[in-house]
A and B are shown apart, each in its own frame.
Chain A
Amino acid sequence: MKTASPVPPGDGRTLRVFIWSEYMDPDIVKAFEEQTGARVILDTFESNEAMLAKLQGGGATYDLVVPSSYVVQTMVRAGLLQPLDRARLPNLKNVAPEFLNPPYDPGNRYSVPYQYAATGLAYNKSRYVPRSSWAEIFGPEDRRSFVLLDDPREVIGAALKYLGHSANTADVAQLRAARDLLRRTVAKKGFQGFDGGPGTRNKLLARQIDLGQIYVGDLLIATEENPQVQVVLPREGTTISMDTLVVLKRSPNPALAHRFINTLLDAEVGARLSNYTYYATPNAAARPLLDDFLKAVPALNPPADWLKNGKLNFIDELPDRRAQRLYDRIWTELKSR
């Protein structure tokens, strides 16, 4: 039976981590515990919003949190994060240059990249093999059944990419074009609704649909068991979701948190992490050590120049309230058909 205890003092012996489910190899945790003599507590959340609500409410003490890139700025503004101490993160040199100094956190002041997934088009070979283009979904023909991700930024972002725009645009004319395109898309006979990764994955495994918009990592986890399900990155470009590691301002054990981050940035640990999560690693040194299965999937690591030439867009926080309202309005209309 526990008793109400004051906030744990920084004893340097307990690391509290707040993370997505199935996103940390237990063996990595075990090794870190043995190496440091510390105890690691992993708590899980299912959405960035729920995570923020809990942190802002106070009462839950964590050292290390794993938010998606587009909420890092929100957390900075809310005064939740402390700047990272570079001197304690020598392994930062392992991160591929294209993932350093990102738009969502200039100079990596508060965050380092953890794992990412581009958003791709998934299919079941035994049912249908698509071209690697968003035209499969957004094109004029209506012969294929498909599911879209249940996420406004992903769906509107994909439409924008197909039209040749940035997935973070605030341009009204571009957004209008995307809105009209999406209106036509969800009116298609082939449109089977919105779903999350696990739902879309199961529909593809059960051969109920031709195509699904999905985070690459959420599909690959099934490809090893059933090689028929595959995923491609559309040639028009796509969105990319980066999850990051941040240290909370109220962290009782920031030194231990830094040590854990540095461990996760190690080449071998980074590879083990991806082998466990099926998400891609931003760790360049880890890539040669990935399982052969993962190395053989082109969709896992988009071409490096895709980030530079704007084909691949991080989902960023929108520039202003007006843009936010436009996205909200488009999404509400799509969902309330």
Chain B
Amino acid sequence: MTRTHPLLAAWAWLVYAFLYLPILVLIVFSFNESRFGAEWTGFTTKWYGVLLGRADVRAALGHTLQVALLSTLVSTVLGTLTGLGLWRYTSRARAALSTLLVLPIVIPDVVMGVMLLMFYAAVRAGLERAGWTFDNGFWTVLLAHVTFQISYVALTVRSRLSGYGPELEEAARDLGASAWQSFWRVVLPLAWPGVLAGALLAFTLSLDDFVVTYFTSGSGFQTLPVLIYTNVKRGVTPDINALSTLLILVTVVAVLVANALLRPRRKA
């Protein structure tokens, strides 16, 4: 056993403090009597009551979860297939496809948002000539999220498989597995941690995206990040702190449950 150097340990604690103190402050201030986060004026739980009475927050939370869940599902399936394709086939097209996949990750959000807004406008103009039209809303936001999520999932899945070569599938085929069987029994189980990680990443990205969502949503479809960000003009109220506290709580519980489920069982 090597002992951790005390300086290194102290440094680690500092890093963790830097990461988690702001979250702690937010949680503490969700119980502050004052409407303003400038001074502590007393303990109260009233902001949680205020939060429960806000229909706009409820609606925004619903929209956020709808988009996050469905876009994660779609992008995980498409992104996994893309990642597998990139891993499996070697061709000149692959390099180009790789570059195309990285683009949505490196393009600034605001460019992507405006780009999609213009794209939808162009599609709408075309449809209007055919006598049909649509309003931006759930579907346009969903499509926008899937657009940037696919890249993350595909790259995560590919990097998970990068240690294995094509001999993996060949061996499975030699042992009598059909193409389907080798996919379901060999490749996918190996890629699975990458698929899960990609899905979690995609879900998180969707949950807290503001810029792209703002530009691609229509009227009556605000998500939580849009609702919260547009509050900066007059100041974020403590009921939003309360909401954030609840979201953090749910996340922590989910992580603990996932850890408990994934822990390898001791052999009896």
Contacts and interface: CB of A to CB of B under 8 A. Distances in A.
Interface of A: 1-8, 16, 18, 20-23, 41-47, 50, 53-54, 57-62, 196-198, 201-203, 205-206, 218, 221-222, 225
B124 to A, nearest CB: 7
A201 B135 contact: no
A6 B236 contact: no
A60 B135 CA distance: 6
A60 B38 contact: no
Given A58-B124, A60-B136, A60-B217, A198 B118 contact: no
Contacts of B56: 42
B165 to A, nearest CB: 43
A53 B114 contact: yes
Interface residues of B, number: 44
Nearest to B137: A2
B38 A46 contact: no
Interface string B28-47: 00000011111101000000
Interface of B: 34-39, 41, 56, 66, 114, 117-118, 120-121, 124, 132-140, 214-222, 226-227, 229-237
Contacts of B132: 6
A5 B135 contact: yes
A57 B118 contact: yes
Contact of A196 (B140, B220, B232): B232
Contacts of A50: 214
A20 B219 contact: no
Contacts of B34: 225
A202 B38 contact: yes
A3 B140 CA distance: 10
Contacts of B234: 20-23, 197-198, 218, 221
A59 B117 CA distance: 8
A4 B136 CA distance: 8
A20 B216 CA distance: 19
A206 B118 CA distance: 45
A59 B121 contact: yes
Contact of A43 (B219, B232, B235): B219
Contacts of A202: 36-38, 235
Contacts of A221: 35, 234-235
Nearest to B34: A225
B36 A44 contact: no
A201 B235 contact: yes
A61 B235 contact: no
In this complex, the member of A6, A18, A20, A201 whose beta carbon has the largest number of chain B beta carbons within 10 angstroms is A6
A6 B215 contact: no
B162 to A, nearest CB: 37
Nearest to B118: A57
B231 A61 contact: no
Nearest to B53: A26
B230 A61 contact: no
Contacts of B66: 1
A53 B118 CA distance: 11
A22 B36 CA distance: 14
In this complex, the member of B35, B121, B232, B235 whose beta carbon has the largest number of chain A beta carbons within 10 angstroms is B235
Nearest to B70: A1
A1 B218 contact: no
Contacts of B140: 59
Given A22-B237, A61-B219, A202-B38, 9 more contacts: A7-B134, A21-B233, A46-B230, A58-B120, A60-B218, A61-B135, A198-B235, A203-B38, A221-B235
A19 to B, nearest CB: 10
Contacts of B39: 205-206
A222 B35 contact: yes
15 contacts: A4-B137, A6-B133, A7-B135, A21-B233, A22-B234, A43-B219, A44-B230, A54-B117, A54-B214, A58-B121, A59-B117, A59-B140, A202-B38, A206-B38, A222-B36
A20 B230 CA distance: 8
Contact of A21 (B38, B217, B230): B230
A58 B121 CA distance: 6
A41 B35 contact: no
Contacts of B135: 4-8, 59-61
Contact of B220 (A7, A43, A47, A218): A43
Nearest to B37: A202
Contacts of B235: 22, 197-198, 201-202, 218, 221
